[in-house]
A = this chain, B = another copy of it.
Amino acid sequence: MLAARHNREAWAGDADRFGVAGAILAGNLCLNWTEELFSTCGLPADHLSRARPVFDRMRTQLMGGQFLDVVESARPWAGLPTQERLERARRVIRFKSAKYTIEHPLLIGASAGGAGADDLTALSRYGLDLGHAFQLRDDLLGVFGDPASTGKPAGDDLREGKRTVLIAHTLAGTDERGRELVETGLGRPDLDEDGVATLREVIVASGAVDAVEAEIAQLADAARLALKSTSGLEAAPVDVLDELIDFSTARSS
């Protein structure tokens, strides 16, 4: 939008750089506002001050997690053992998705509400496991999801070349021909429907979908166990958190 206006009005300098500068500043503005919303949300000052360290940690770690994602999108996977690939993909999930999407928001609320140390630890485990499972489900939907319900074009993650746990399992379980198909097809922005269908077949045949489904089920169980180990929380929020497990990990989007 900004770049287009720059072009239309024939302003000086590079239109794309202009657009990027505006986008960076808009992002900074929103980042400022997250903090302003937090501080002015209306909770009593002592509740806010209990939650603030978690809020600060979340915002700092998110930048690290986002950078980790940028790094892992660029660092080659070629020649790495499967275990190292899985660890890299899982570390991105942990720091970019699980902490930011579930663990920290939950701990912010629980800290503000005065939860005890043991319950905070249990909620942290619940959040990390569920956040991890949620991201694995999202990775499956990014390849196999129905565009009508995901809102994203089918196979978009394949065109973007995302190196997920699913892809690590695929490369480990497929044969020479499958590996070649993945290595040449993954990350091609012009991958057509046939190309997407071929990669899907390779992924399913490798056993990767089953492996990821098994991980999701394990993580969901672990999250439920962590939730059960809490002792000082009221029943109603615990019920909601329990429902959230099914809601976040169910097969349909």
Chain A positions within 8 Å of B, measured between CB atoms, are 6, 9-13, 18, 20-22, 24-29, 31-33, 35-36, 39, 45, 49, 52, 56, 59-60, 63-64, 66-67, 70, 73-76, 187
State whether B45 touches A75 (Cβ < 8 A). Answer: no
A28 touches which of B9, B26, B27, B70 (Cβ 8 Å): B27
Asked whether, in the complex, the Cβ of B31 is within 8 Å of the Cβ of A31, the reply is yes
What 3 A-B pairs come out closest when comparing CB atoms? A11-B74, A29-B63, A32-B59
Residues of B within 8 A of A56 (CB): 32, 35-36, 39
Q: Can you give 26 A-B contacts (C-beta < 8 A)?
A: A6-B74, A10-B76, A11-B75, A11-B76, A12-B187, A13-B73, A20-B20, A21-B70, A22-B67, A22-B70, A25-B67, A25-B70, A26-B63, A27-B28, A28-B63, A29-B60, A29-B64, A31-B31, A32-B59, A32-B60, A32-B63, A33-B60, A35-B35, A35-B56, A36-B60, A45-B45
A26 to B52, CA, bound (A): 21
Expressed in whole angstroms, the Cα–Cα distance for A125 and B9 within the complex equals 36
| CB–CB A18/B70 < 8 A | yes
State whether A28 and B31 are in contact (beta carbons under 8 Å apart), knowing that A6-B74, A52-B39, A56-B36 are contacts in the complex.
yes
Q: How far is the CB of A27 from chain B (nearest CB, A)?
A: 7
Q: With A12-B74, A13-B73, A24-B27 given, name 20 new contacts (CB 8 A).
A: A9-B75, A10-B76, A11-B74, A11-B75, A11-B76, A12-B75, A12-B187, A13-B74, A18-B70, A21-B67, A22-B67, A22-B70, A25-B67, A27-B28, A28-B28, A28-B63, A29-B63, A32-B35, A32-B56, A35-B35
Question: A238 CB to closest chain B CB, in angstroms?
Answer: 31
In the complex, what's the smallest C-beta–C-beta distance from A88 to chain B, in angstroms?
13
The chain B residue sitting closest to A33, CB to CB, is B60
In the assembled complex, how far is the CB of residue A55 from the closest CB belonging to chain B, in whole angstroms?
9
In the assembled complex, the CB of A91 is this many whole angstroms from the nearest CB of chain B, namely 16
A12's partner among B45, B63, B76 (CB-CB below 8 A) is B76
CB neighbours (8 Å) of A45 from chain B are: 45, 49
Distance of A49 Cα from B76 Cα, bound (Å): 49
The residue in chain B whose Cβ has the minimal distance to the Cβ of A14 is: B74
Query: Of all chain B residues, which has the CB nearest A78?
Result: B12
A66 to B25, CA, bound (A): 8
Given A13-B74, A70-B18, are A32 and B31 neighbors across the interface (CB < 8 Å)?
yes
State how many angstroms separate the Cβ of A159 from the closest Cβ of chain B. 14
